[in-house]
Structure formats: structure tokens, C-alpha cells
Amino acid sequence: MSERYTTHEYDVLIIGAGGAGLRAAIEAASVGDSVGVVCKSLLGKAHTVMAEGGMAASMGNVDERDDWKVHFADTMRGGQYLNNCNMAEHHAKEAADRVHELEEWGALFDRTHDGKILQRNFGGHKYPRLAHVGDRTGLEMIRTLQDHGIHQGLDFHMEVTIFHFFCEGNRVVGALAYEREKGRFLLFKAKAIVIATGGYGRAFKITSNSWEYTGDGQTLAYDAGADLLDMEFVQFHPTGMVWPPSVRGILVTEGVRGEGGILTNSEGNRFMFEDVPPLYQSSTADNEEEGWRYVTGDKEASRPPELLTRDHVARKIVKEVKEGRGSEHGGAYLDIAWIKEHIKDSESHIKKKLPSMYHQFKELAGVDITKEKMEVGPTTHYAMGGIRVDADTQMSTVDGLFACGECAAGLHGANRLGGNSLSDLLVFGKRAGEYAAKFAEGLDSFSEIDSDEVNRLVEEALKPVDRTEGENPYLIQQELQETMQDLAGIWRSEVGLKEAIDRIRGYAERAKHAHAPGNREYNPGWHTALDLHNLLTVSEALCLSAEQRTESRGGHYREEFPAKSEEGSTYNTVVRKARDGSMEVERVPVVPQSDEMKVIIGANE
């Protein structure tokens, strides 16, 4: 049988060209390895481009009291202590260097008066910590990495999607992909593979995430035998757009609140002043005047309650809506225009600080945020859970298979602080690239991959287009998104989760018979059919993990168990493929903190 694919060989294969993948690729190439980078969209279009608010690093440019220890303690508290503390330590210690390195490669951050990198306030961060460029920090980051990366001898394969890994024993040795343009297949042989594919927000109906976020990396790793971790923890960002319906879910950056934006209900109350969680009571302002002083840089003031962690703010908005005090279209009001009470030229100030938010509302909702209130509500935003990795090397539980960025788990625990993702991408992207290159160095040759097996997989992948009839894959995807939104979203219960799992298994059966009319050339119907397996796998993992966590913590909220439990703080949830192919869930002890860490956390409580 003639081969139906082309073969490519790389010391290190990077899957994903967002911040994490690009940083990993640059690192791996810096030691002379041959590096291939694969991405589903064009270069520069990955999710990272959408990040708005900034990247967290304790440089102390705005408040010199900041240092890595405070950042570490903030990250742990935000994650409700389920974080891998060793990752949180690396992250807090290395983020500043990674930001400076980005500047060396051309990133142009906003400046302080004395010419240093300016840092802004964000929820859960004790001091102003986010290096930023207006509200388009992600664009600055991805473009800088891209423009630097294209001159480092990397091989880019754009609009190519990986859908299968090959293993030899417990070691990954290659990957199979299709390209969108002509539907041709590519076999990659690699000594080490880095997954940097991002999250799985597309499992939900209301999300800030794009079509790319179908949990591919998590599923590929799971199918190859790797452990997934903390899959129940999904972040629902409190402020997505809610009106008009077609823009529902699009993100409104937390930067709006960082610049002084306030949340009010239909009665005009700043409801965030109520129910401040005990862990944060001492560090939260109890009056409007102090809150305003905080956002304008008064170091003695405590932060306004709008800047509490995302899980809390999101649930507070849902509560207002449920109790009948929601905004016109079922959200809350977010008001930045009010700062005119304090700032003379508030309109141009807002346009300068939040240019893309100004645009977004003006053009998509017909709202002028310098004059009017926005309407906002929770949107599925970020996956804390993902591939379980070693804190130092980022290697998964499969040899030679590394993961970094949003697809990896551990750093953020039960809830991620805003701005900690962009820094995560750089810190752990670098580490993953470095250790993947080291791993590749230890191997002298590429493993053989059986061509009959490859041809069989190619044939299997073509079934949705080869079939002459079957179900529309888009409709299965939509049904899944509705199920997850209703039963596994911000408010969960045992009954609901069981129902969701049943339905997911039903969709999985139907997905096997999905049919995509047309040929295999740039056929999104076909791609959607192939993505279903990934979405269904991560959805099932999420529901099984959520079902066994009988408490509420961070991004995970159980109706029957609205409080944290003692036991819940002691374990992380692992999901893996059992020998019989079924999904098994296991509890593993939380990574223990060293004595030094305990002291740091204690000192910053």
C-alpha cells in the first residue's frame, strides 16, 4: 500500500504556537535542536493574541514592597492551596526575568514616570503587578515571540492539526496530523514532544474561547496514557459581554475594574461590598472612598471588592441575577464612566487605558463606555486543570511528552489569578523547551512507526467525509455545549453531573457516525467531526472529577456542598485511561509545602 502521508523528523516537536509553544520552541532551538512547530490556525492567531490585561511579575516597579514571595503567596491563596507549590515558586521567582527577556526581544510595555515597565492592579494580586500594553498585552506578547521566533530556524506548519500520538512502551515517539488546506496527512517523528495547545472552553456554550479550544492536547495526552489533573477546575470569568446575544461570552478585561470600574445591580447597589470571603476580609476596602484610593495608587488603602478573585465575583453576579436584581439582559452593570466624579478628563483617560474595550463595546454593542454602563455576566474562560506535569521539567507521566501553558495543570490550583497565565506561558514554556531538548539529546535516533498503522489511522480519520450519510457534527457539538453549560458550569450538583455524564456517553456514540458532506479540502465540518472526540473526552473527565469533589472551592461549586471541606484541601483529582479503556478517577495527595513556603504563606496571610 502506498503511503498516504508525508513524513517529517524533528528533535523536538512543539504542538501549539501561542505564548507557551513559541517560548518553548525558541528555547529548544537555542541549543541547536531541529524544532518543528505545528498550529491549527495561522501564526499569530492563537488565543494568546486575545489576552488583554497583562502579565504578572513581581518586579516592584510601582510598589517596591512587592517581591517573589508575595507573588507566590498570592498565587497559592488564589488557588485555594491546591496548587503545585513547586510550580508556584518557580513561576513567582522567574516571571520577572521572562518579562525582561521579552523586552529584550522587542516588546514595548507601558512605562512608569521613571521609565520602567508600568504595572497595574489585578484581582487577587496584593500589589500592582501586571506588566501591560494598554489592554492588548497578549498581542504584544505573541507578536514579539513570533517576530523573534521566525528568525531562530524553526519550521512552522500552519493550519495543521495533530490528532494522534504514537508511543513505544511509555514513551512518545511521533504524532499524526492533517492539514486544513488540502486535507493531506503528515507524520511527525520526534524525540520529544511539547504540548502547548491551550484549554477547552468550547465545551461550554458561553465562552470567551475560540474554535481552537477543544481540549486536543489534554485528549491526546490522555489517550497516550498520561494523567490529567484537576479537571473539575474551570474558571468562569465574571465579566463577559451579555448583550447582544451574538456577542455573549466575549471577554471584558478585568483591567476595567483595575482602572476603577465598579459593579452594580438593578437597584444601583455596589453589591460586591457584601459577603466578602473571610480569607480576604482584612485586605478588602469596606467603603467606596478607600476603594478608589487603592486603584489610584494609594499604598495605604485596601483593594475594592470588585477586585476579589474571579470565582467569587462570578458567583456574586449570578446570585444577584438569581435573586432578581440583575441587569436588563441578565447580568450586572459594570461602570467605568463613573470615574468622571474623580478625574477631569475621564473620557480620554478611559480611551487611553482601555482602548480595545472602548472599541469592542462601541462597535459590537453600540455602548460608549466612557458615558454608559456595560452589561456583564460570567463566561467560561480558562482551564486550571489539564495535563499533569513535573514541576521542574514539565514532563507528563508519559516519557518524552511535555506540556506547558494552559493545557498543563498545577500552577493555578482551584482558581487562577488574572495575569498569571501570560507569565505561566513564558516561565514554563521556557522550561518545557529546555527539558524537551535535554530529553531529545539522550536519544540517537528516531523510532520506527509502522506505516500500516498510520494508514489505518488515516482511513479512520477520513470516515466522516467518506460516509454518505450520518449526523451533522455541529449539532452534536451544540448539544454538548448546552449540556455542559446547564449541568457542569458555574453551579453543579450530583444529579446534574450524572445526567451530563450519561448524555456525554450518548453523544460519543452519535459522534462515531457523524458525517461531513463535501471533500476533505478545507472542510470545517470534517474538522468539527474530528474535534468531537476531544471535546467529549475532556467533558467527561471534567464531570467525573466534579462529581467526586463534594465541596465548593475556587472554580468548582457544588449546590449541595456550598462550603470548603477539610478533606478537599488535601488532594488533587487525577483522571487516566484504565486498562479496559474506561476513564478512572483517583485522588492524589496535594504536593506538600516546604517549611520555608509555610513561613512565606503565613507571613502574607
Partner 1 sequence: MSDVTFRIWRGEGEESHFEEYKTEVSEGMVVLDAIHDIQAQQAPDLAVRWNCKAGKCGSCSAEINGMPKLMCMTRLSSLDLEQPVSVEPMKTFPLIKDLVTDVKWNYDAKMTIKPFKPRAPEAEDGTWRMAQDDVERAQEFRKCIECFLCQNVCHVLRDHHDHDKYIGPAMFVKAAAFDMHPLDVEDRVLDLKDEQGIGYCNITKCCTKVCPEHITITDNAIIPLKESVVDEFYDPITKLFRIFKPKNPTNEI
- Using CB under 8 A as the binding rule, whether residue 451 contacts partner 1 is answered as no
Strand, helix or coil at 564?
A: coil
Q: Please report whether residue 43 would count as binding partner 1 according to CB under 8 A.
A: yes
For residues 547 and 560, what is the distance between their CA atoms, to the nearest angstrom?
11
Among 13, 29, 44, 53, binds ligand FAD (CB under 6 A): 53
379 touching partner 1, by CB under 8 A: no
Indicate if 237 belongs to the active site. Answer: yes
Spatial separation of the C-alpha atoms in residues 361 and 342, rounded to whole Å: 23
Contacts of 360 (CB under 8 A, 6+ apart): 241, 250, 252
- Taking the C-alpha atoms of residue 235 and residue 502, their distance in angstroms, rounded to an integer, is 24
Is position 257 annotated as part of the catalytic site?
A: yes
Bridge partner list, 189: 9, 174
Among 30, 171, 184, 210, binds partner 1 (CB under 8 A): 210
Q: Which stretch binds partner 1 (CB under 8 A): 128-136, 189-197, 317-325, 565-573?
A: 128-136
What is the number of the residue whose Cβ is closest to ligand FAD? 18
Q: Is 244 in the site for partner 1 (CB under 8 A)?
A: yes
The DSSP secondary-structure symbol of 245 reads: G
- When binding is defined by CB under 8 A, the residue of 8, 23, 47, 430 that contacts partner 1 is 47
Q: Residue type at 258?
A: G
Contact 204, 193 (CB under 8 A): no
The DSSP line for 375-391 is EEEEEEEEES-EE---T
Q: Which of 8, 13, 19, 285 binds ligand FAD (CB under 6 A)?
A: 19
Query: Are the C-beta atoms of 554 and 233 separated by less than 8 Å?
Result: yes
Per the document, the length of the chain is 605
* Shortest Å, Cβ 522 to partner 1: 4
280 binds, among ligand FAD, partner 1, none (CB under 5 to 8 A by kind): none
Query: Cβ closer to partner 1: 475 or 599?
Result: 475
Q: Which of 164, 257, 431, 515 is catalytic?
A: 257
> Least distance from C-beta 323 to ligand FAD, angstroms?
28
Strands 155-158 and 35-39: parallel
Cβ closer to ligand FAD: 60 or 405? 405
Residue 250 binds to partner 1 (criterion: CB under 8 A): yes
> Does residue number 16 form part of the binding site for ligand FAD (CB under 6 A)?
yes
C-alpha torsion sign, points 291, 295, 299, 304: positive
Stretch that binds ligand FAD, among 52-60, 555-563, 568-576, 581-589 (CB under 6 A): 52-60
Q: Which residue has the cell 512502551?
A: 169
105 counts as binding partner 1 under rule CB under 8 A: yes
470 binds, among ligand FAD, partner 1, none (CB under 5 to 8 A by kind): none
Nearer of residues 46 and 501 to ligand FAD, judged by Cβ: 46
Which one is catalytic: 8, 157, 237, 549? Answer: 237
Residue 26 to residue 388: CA distance in whole angstroms? 23
Question: Do residues 389 and 396 lie in contact, with contact meaning Cβ atoms separated by under 8 Å?
Answer: yes
Confirm if 134 and 359 have CB atoms less than 8 A apart. no
Q: How far is CA 446 from the centre of its chain?
A: 32
Per-residue contact flags (x/-) with partner 1 for residues 348 to 367, judged by CB under 8 A? --------x--xx--xxx--
State how far the Cα of 383 lies from the Cα of 233, in Å rounded to an integer: 7
Q: How far apart are alpha carbons 64 and 119 in whole angstroms?
A: 11
Tell me how far apart the alpha carbons of residues 72 and 165 are, in angstroms, rounded to a whole number.
Answer: 35
Please give the residues from 412 up to 451 whose contact with ligand FAD meets the rule CB under 6 A: 418-422, 425
C-alpha 487/C-alpha 494 separation (Å) is 9
| Interface stretch with partner 1, choices 40-48, 198-206, 444-452, 549-557 (CB under 8 A) | 40-48
> Is residue 241 involved in binding ligand FAD (CB under 6 A)?
no
Give the rounded distance of the alpha carbon of 308 from its chain centre.
Answer: 19
CA distance 295 to 293: 6
Cβ(206)–Cβ(249) below 8 Å: yes
Q: Which does 15 bind (CB under 5 to 8 A by kind): ligand FAD, partner 1, none?
A: ligand FAD
Residues that bind partner 1 (CB under 8 A): 41-47, 49-50, 100, 103-106, 108-111, 114-116, 118, 133-134, 136, 138-140, 143, 147-148, 150-151, 158, 181, 210-212, 243-247, 250-251, 356, 359-360, 363-365, 472-475, 478, 516-519, 521-526, 528
The residues annotated as belonging to the active site are 237, 257
Could you list the residues that contact ligand FAD (CB under 6 A)? 15-21, 38-41, 46-48, 50-55, 137-138, 161-162, 196-198, 208-209, 212, 216-217, 251, 382, 405-407, 418-422, 425
